[in-house]
Amino acid sequence: MTTSRIARIMIPLDGMEAADRAIAVAARIACRTGAQLHLVSVCRPVSASSAMLPGFVPYPTDLDAMARESLRSHLDARVEETVTVYSVSTASAILDGPESVADQLAAYARRHDVDLIVMRSHGRSAIGSFCFGSVGAALMERSHVPCLLLRDGNLHRSPSAPVRWGFARILVPLDGTPESEAGIEQAVALANRSATEITLLVVVPDRWVPAPGIGLAAPDTPELAAAKAYVEGLAHRLDVRGFRARGMALARPSVPAGIAECVEAQQSDLVSICSHHRSEGDRLIFGSVIDTLVHGTRVPVLARRTTRAEVVDLPDAACTVCLQTETAAFG
């Protein structure tokens, strides 16, 4: 998603009600953006043969066909419900190639120019777990499409609570690289100019430890001052484009924990994060940040792996004030 237009949204489903709860979130986004929904399931072979194992009842020879038919019925029902309730264009597909679940979903996303993937961050079924660390992580790695990762806490609302998926407060963690700044554009794609506040955040690793017994606050280091200038410059560019934006810089020992702290303090509705890993270490750090946010906060996470080519002509790319610090938080 190199522009702010969302035309096609893919929702991976596995035939279980838990995964279906992501449809409502995607549908509300589609209502505002005019996007088409793609409900997609992967049908993996359930049995390799019908041979009987000692002490076990043999599998029916048509078990795979039965599983596919069950998925088809499930998808058809979800399509009918979605069109009836939300009046949005909805397509469906069942994939059943020999490749892995993530590979098949990534290939579908490329073939159909999918702009956004909405999926649960937890889900268990016979065909796999749609969760970060497995299918979700692999899908981000191979598709380079923004993935909106949801967990049960994001999907449930009490009967008296307002049903709101407008993302009034979006947090965008940055590390000073153009790759991380791609998170600004994907936040803009889900933002409402008049109602959404976008907070740009840099967490500077805090290396300063006061001597015992000295109760002085840590002064603004040159790194922290540069981080503030950097995010304030980017926030000003968003202001010029008509979006409500502000920049923040924090010094914390742990970057993931600092981001999570800001999510709670700002009462964010969404975290938008992008990165391009250049090493195995970067990949692990990025995964650590996403894992902390998905499991340790109450908000959905919009995550994406970018490529170098995607950020060359990125609008509002690097600010004139560069961040030359040790803030490579997630690659």
Tell whether the model's pLDDT for residue 254 goes beyond 70. yes
Query: Following DSSP, what letter does each residue of 120-175 receive, concatenated?
Result: ES----TT---STTTHHHHHHHHH---EEEE-HHHH---TTS----S-SEEEEEE-
Quick check: 139 and 105 in contact, CB under 8 A? yes
To the nearest whole percent, how much of the chain has pLDDT over 70?
69
* pTM (2 d.p.): 0.78
DSSP letter at 267 equals T
Q: Which domain holds residue 210?
A: 169-311
**Count of domains forming the chain:** 2
Do 93 and 16 share a structural domain?
Answer: yes
- Give the pLDDT score at 54: 55
Tokens linked to 113: 């120019």
pLDDT score of 193 = 87
Lowest mean pLDDT across 101-110, 153-162, 248-257: 153-162
Higher pLDDT, 205 or 131: 205
pLDDT at 284 over 80: no
Arithmetic mean of pLDDT, 143-172: 68
pLDDT tens for each residue of 28-81: 999 989 999 999 999 877 654 444 455 555 556 577 788 889 899 999 999 999
pLDDT at 309 over 60: no
pLDDT at 306: 74
The pLDDT score that the predictor gives to residue 139 is 83
Q: Which of 155, 177, 212 is the last residue of a domain?
A: 155
- Same-domain check for residues 128 and 229: no
* CA proximity to 234, closest of 199, 279, 285, 191: 199
Where is pLDDT greater, at 126 or 86? 86
Q: Are residues 130 and 204 in the same domain?
A: no
Q: What is the pLDDT of residue 55?
A: 55
Query: 98: domain CATH number?
Result: 3.40.50.620
175 with 146, same domain?
A: no
**pLDDT for 23 beyond 60:** yes
What is the pLDDT averaged over residues 263-280? 82
| Same domain, residue pair 138 and 175 | no
Band of pLDDT at residue 324, cut at 50, 70 and 90 = very low
Higher confidence at residue 282 or residue 31? 31
Rounded Cα distance, 154 and 149, in Å: 9
Domain assignment present for residue 254? The answer is yes
